[in-house]
């Protein structure tokens, strides 16, 4: 179960100068509302009094414009942001899809990097060792799997990282948009695996700008605007309402 009770997250930003401060705010990509404190300090209210309950087995889609607070909410579920007010309850192991390259060592081989990055998902060395052949096969890197990843093309590196991420399970799957990993044939393989992971996970929280994907995988939805919940309900009603605010002209 995931339960948010009146959750607020304030992120302080120290300003060096006007131009750099705006770049810094944009780089944080947390959305929300900027609040003044002093000439050299601002606070971004990334989430503002957010409440919802997702029972075990629930599939929640997050919709909203860029900077609305969707990613902040996902990272709060994952325990990556300290809350400023309210209460968060998350029951179950979590699998996140954020910084998939954490732990990557360019001068080490693909095999070594599988073992390094896998430690972010599990501390069970036997589980990691058992999973290595599956990841090697999934990534389709052939003999390059023994080469330093600094020799990989961008597409090869994406295959390795995505291959690792898609082969460790969790009770709660937290995903921000879909994964991209090279050519269309391999991407189809990735999507099939993602669908299987979503089916196997007890609970799903998924953010995307693609409402058709939200409808495909989720049963309920939360519409976030400027860090606040604008609408909550069944996925069709919420995505229809959100879709009406989009300007396609």
The answer as to whether 212 is a domain residue is: yes
The answer as to whether 130 is a domain residue is: yes
The answer as to whether 248 is a domain residue is: no
Per-residue pLDDT tens over the stretch 124-169: 899 999 999 999 999 999 999 999 999 999 889 988 988 888 888 7
Per-residue pLDDT tens over the stretch 29-87: 555 565 655 556 688 899 999 999 999 989 999 999 988 999 999 999 999 899 999 99
The answer as to whether 249 is a domain residue is: no
**Residue 182 confidence (pLDDT):** 62
Strand partners for 88: 4
pTM attached to this predicted model: 0.77
CATH code: domain of residue 62: 3.40.50.300
Indicate if 140 and 230 belong to the same structural domain: no
The answer as to whether 85 is a domain residue is: yes
Pair of tokens at residue 159: 């295959």
Residue 156: phi and psi, rounded to 5, are: -65, -40
Per-residue pLDDT tens over the stretch 185-208: 887 888 788 778 777 778 999 998
Name the pairing type of β-strands 33-38 and 172-176: unpaired
Indicate if 85 and 101 belong to the same structural domain: no
The answer as to whether 50 is a domain residue is: yes
Q: Containing domain of residue 146, as a range?
A: 97-201
The answer as to whether 121 is a domain residue is: yes
For residue 3, give the nearest of 72, 60, 69, 45 by alpha carbon.
60
The answer as to whether 152 is a domain residue is: yes
């Amino acid at each position: 179960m995931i339960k948010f009770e009146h959750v607020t997250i304030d992120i302080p930003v120290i300003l060096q100068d006007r131009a750099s401060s705006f770049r810094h705010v944009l780089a944080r990509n947390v959305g929300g509302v900027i609040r003044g404190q002093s000439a050299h300090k601002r606070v971004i209210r990334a989430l503002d009094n957010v409440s919802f309950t997702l029972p075990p087995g629930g599939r929640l889609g997050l919709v909203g414009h860029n900077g609305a607070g969707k990613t902040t909410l996902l990272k709060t579920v994952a325990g990556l942001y300290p809350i400023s007010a309210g209460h968060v309850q998350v029951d179950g192991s979590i699998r996140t899809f954020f910084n998939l390259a954490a732990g990557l060592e360019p001068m080490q081989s693909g095999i070594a990097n599988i073992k390094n990055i896998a430690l972010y998902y599990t501390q069970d060395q036997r589980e990691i060792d058992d999973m290595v052949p599956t990841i090697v096969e999934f990534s389709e890197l052939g003999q390059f799997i023994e080469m330093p990843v600094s020799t990989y093309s961008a597409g090869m590196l994406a295959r390795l990282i995505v291959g690792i991420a898609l082969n460790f399970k969790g009770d709660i799957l937290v995903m921000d948009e879909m994964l991209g990993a090279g050519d269309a044939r391999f991407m189809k393989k990735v999507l099939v695996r993602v669908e299987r992971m979503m089916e196997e996970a007890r609970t799903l929280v998924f953010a995307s700008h693609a409402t058709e994907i939200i409808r495909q995988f989720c049963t309920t939805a939360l519409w976030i605007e400027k860090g606040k919940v604008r609408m909550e309900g069944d996925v069709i009603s919420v995505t229809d309402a959100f879709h009406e605010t989009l300007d396609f002209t």
